[in-house]
Amino acid sequence: MEKIASFTIDHIKLQPGVYVSRKDHIGAETVTTFDIRMTSPNEEPVMNTAEVHTIEHLGATFLRNDAEWKDRVVYFGPMGCRTGFYLLLAGDLESKDIVTLMTKMFEFMRDFEGDIPGAAAKDCGNYLDQNLPMAKYLSKRFLDNVLYDIKEDRLVYPQ
């Protein structure tokens, strides 16, 4: 079997950033998959499931309510390795195209107060596995260390 595209990226060189993972063409449409890498693979601890789950709930809620982007959101969810998230958007896009969107989303999560959207037994299959304080901390960390002064090497996969 052929190795899938995401396994061809050198995860030893990969650092937190916003990367185009792949582009799929479905008829006349393009769907761009973004790798929202929040931690350095194999260098630092992965995120725990509770904060990943909270970021998923908050991020999906923000994205599907954003006036400019909501109609282009196909999916937002965690990577199995727990080092980041995948965001699928309709359109032929580049990483730089979504930096403002990601900044607004992570600011929303950093500043979020109150009940986590969808964190109730009737809404979620594992509603108790949430950690808002850690999700806020990780969102602030990603903003400060990556998004607020993002460099080209955090927008294009390492070679």
pLDDT digits (tens, 9 = 90+) for 102-121: 999 999 999 999 999 999 99
- Pairing type for strands 73-78 and 84-90 reads antiparallel
Query: Which residue do the tokens 């390795």 mark?
Result: 81
Kindly state the average pLDDT of the residues 3-13. Answer: 85
Share of the chain above pLDDT 90, in %: 94
* Predicted confidence (pLDDT) per residue in 30-42, tens digit: 999 999 999 999 9
Which amino acid, 85? F
Is 80 exceeded by the pLDDT of residue 5?
Answer: no
**Cα(54)–Cα(119) distance, rounded to whole angstroms?**
9
Tally Cβ neighbours within 10 Å of residue 147: 22
Kindly state the average pLDDT of the residues 18-41. Answer: 97
Is 90 exceeded by the pLDDT of residue 6?
Answer: no
**Does residue 139 contact residue 109 with C-beta atoms inside 8 Å?**
yes
**Does residue 34 contact residue 98 with C-beta atoms inside 8 Å?**
yes
Report pTM: 0.95
- Break the chain into its structural domains and give their ranges: 5-154
* Predicted confidence (pLDDT) per residue in 53-77, tens digit: 999 999 999 999 999 999 999 999 9
Q: What are phi and psi of 114, to 5 degrees?
A: 110, -165
pLDDT value of residue 7: 84
pLDDT value of residue 150: 98
pLDDT value of residue 14: 95
Kindly state the average pLDDT of the residues 85-104. Answer: 98
Tally Cβ neighbours within 10 Å of residue 98: 22
Is 90 exceeded by the pLDDT of residue 8?
Answer: no
- Among candidates 97, 95, 102, which has minimal Cα distance to 156? 95
Is 80 exceeded by the pLDDT of residue 130?
Answer: yes
**Cα(15)–Cα(98) distance, rounded to whole angstroms?**
18
pLDDT value of residue 4: 79
pLDDT value of residue 3: 83
Sign of CA dihedral 37, 39, 42, 48: negative
Please list the residues that pair with 89 across neighbouring strands.
Answer: 32, 73
Let me know if domain 5-154 sits in CATH 3.30.1360.80: yes
**Cα(2)–Cα(103) distance, rounded to whole angstroms?**
35
Query: Which residue do the tokens 């761009």 mark?
Result: 32
